[in-house]
Chains A and B, each alone.
Chain A
């Protein structure tokens, strides 16, 4: 559990982060979202002490981050940034091994961990281990950057706009990968973004920052349906609110019995996918399947009813 306790950062009289408190549960993703200058990156950087807080405290599993020297603290906290920041003069394997190497893990354990992570990110270890970062595509570099951050099984993973430099298609894939890997490893992640879409997609909890203050912190559905301030409502975007909410609700929630014709959606799909399928095919309902077997249908009326209950 990560506890941020009344943390404040003042730069030359300018308040960058003001009295922010929040708790992050182990094994969850918290996305900090805000415009540039909102203090979201400063907040993140105070957790691994790349910035020293002016006042307040951060505790990881009960221990204050002030109790160890900064570079020792950072070895326990994964860190991935926009533009990956890989070491261009080291191979992929050496990049991923950077922190385990600092922690003096035995060689064979490091090698096994590197291969395990490469496989986890769908990169063939034999093919990629000995390449240099310049020989990888942007998406691959970014994956290696995240793999490096996860290498020593840190208590916490901090990510500062990790997907900001990727094009939309690769970004989608990277977000799915992160979700999948986080669920598999049970990692605790704090991620900073300016993109509300990304925040809603990835976050178990979303924290909205504005002018150095934490203006709302809660599950994504709550951020969408009950924005605390006009700023939050603005970030969510009035026009896209229903669609964003739909993207959070699995079809299984409003599925009913009945067989219909047409291309089926999986039970993992969201209501947004179902709505899209209805609109595209011109039908009022869409079949749902699980492992290739039809199990029910979702109707436009049911989607309308589900979303209308929030209005």
Chain B
């Protein structure tokens, strides 16, 4: 645990420095930049790019969560069970389609900018959340469900008070996977002019500036690692009191 205790604040500090005080890193990146070329990306502030990047990911993941969890709830009700295979197929297609292809197809319909990126991230994020929500909602303890009905909870009360809280840690795992995939995938949104950290990476690739590529890549990577870690902590916290201490360790 001491590893996490030391490493976590160090990574947060590094990320904040990279985003807020990029000029501190000029000596470090200078050897990677082309001679006489810029070392630090300055066409847009890294802070605003980061916020826009995170905003896109948050919006797409939130929408994917709402849609995927709602679908999972519907197909785990007795009346919706028949639609489970169909909904699985749909979300699987969303995952198989390469995000670049979605971007290409969405541009004619939605124009350049954040729109196509949101659609691609949304479609890409559905599957992990949907699959985990189904797993969470179908592997609830039988005796608890039986007791919930037996003591007089209505169907809505069972869903809200028992099923969703008990499935929450598993659903969160799905959301975590989806968010981390989206954080990386969002960078290619900049090929269709969405404002993301991909802009820095792409600028670097176009001008042979490895310093830019590294800068953009580091920031995205650190966001992914730290957000992943934060969500793992949250899942642990939620499931800790439910499980016996031994099954966690």
CB-CB under 8 A from B26, the residues of chain A are none
Cβ–Cβ contact B147 & A89, under 8 A? no
A79 contacts which of B151, B161, B166 (Cβ < 8 Å)?
Answer: B151
Chain A residues near B151 (CB, 8 Å)?
74-75, 78-79, 98-99, 102, 148-149
Query: In the complex, A76→B151 CA distance in Å?
Result: 8
> What does DSSP make chain A's interface, helix, strand, loop or mixed?
mixed
A82 neighbours in B (Cβ, 8 Å) = 143
- Contact check, A50 vs B149: say whether CB atoms are below 8 A apart: yes
* A-side contacts of B152, CB under 8 Å: 71-77, 99, 102
* Inter-subunit contact A132/B150 (CB<8 Å): no
A31 within 8 A of B: no
- Asked if B108 CB lies within 8 Å of chain A CBs, one says no
Residues A127-175 near B (CB distance < 8 A): 132, 134-135, 145, 148-149, 158
A245 to B150, CA, bound (A): 35
Shortest distance in angstroms between A264's beta carbon and chain B's nearest beta carbon?
44
Query: Does any Cβ of A come within 8 Å of B148's Cβ?
Result: yes
Identify whether the interface residues of B are mostly helix, strand, loop, or mixed.
Answer: helix
A-B contact list, 11 entries, CB within 8 Å = A48-B150, A72-B152, A74-B150, A75-B152, A81-B143, A85-B145, A86-B147, A87-B144, A88-B144, A88-B242, A99-B152
B135 CB, min distance to chain A CBs, angstroms: 17
Q: Are B242 and A81 in contact (CB under 8 A)?
A: no
Give the CA-CA distance A50 to B147 in the complex, in Å: 10
A4 → chain B closest CB, angstroms: 18
- Interface status of A83 (Cβ within 8 A of chain B): yes
> In the assembled complex, which residues on chain A have CB atoms less than 8 Å from the CB atom of B143?
81-85
Given contacts A75-B151, A87-B148, A134-B241, 15 further A-B contacts (CB under 8 A): A71-B152, A71-B153, A72-B152, A73-B152, A75-B152, A81-B146, A81-B147, A85-B150, A88-B141, A89-B166, A89-B241, A99-B151, A102-B152, A132-B242, A134-B244
Query: Which residues of A from 88 to 143 have beta carbons under 8 Å from B?
Result: 88-89, 98-99, 102, 132, 134-135
Contact with A along B95-126 (1 / 0, CB 8 A): 00000000000000000000000000000000
Determine how close the nearest CB of chain A comes to the CB of B66; give it in whole angstroms: 22
Partner of B144, one of A77, A85, A149: A85
Q: Which of B128-172 contact A (CB under 8 A)?
A: 141, 143-155, 157, 161-162, 165-166
The answer to whether A89 touches B150, judged by C-beta atoms less than 8 angstroms apart, is: no
How distant is A245 from chain B, measured CB to nearest CB, in Å? Answer: 35
Query: Hey, which chain A residues are within 8 Å of B144, CB to CB?
Result: 85-88
Name which residue of chain B comes closest to A73, CB basis: B152
Q: Is B42 an interface residue, CB under 8 A from the partner?
A: no
A102's closest neighbor in chain B, by CB? Answer: B152
Distance in Å: Cβ of A143 to nearest Cβ of chain B: 15
Q: B-facing mask of A53-80, CB < 8 A → 1, else 0?
A: 0000000000000000001111111110
| Closest beta carbon of chain A to B249's beta carbon, Å | 14
Question: For window 3-18 of chain B, which residues contact chain A by CB distance below 8 Å?
Answer: none
Selected contact of A134 from candidates B150, B155, B161, B242, CB within 8 Å: B242
CA of A81 to CA of B148, assembled, Å = 11
Most chain B C-beta atoms within 10 Å of own C-beta, residue among A75, A84, A98: A98
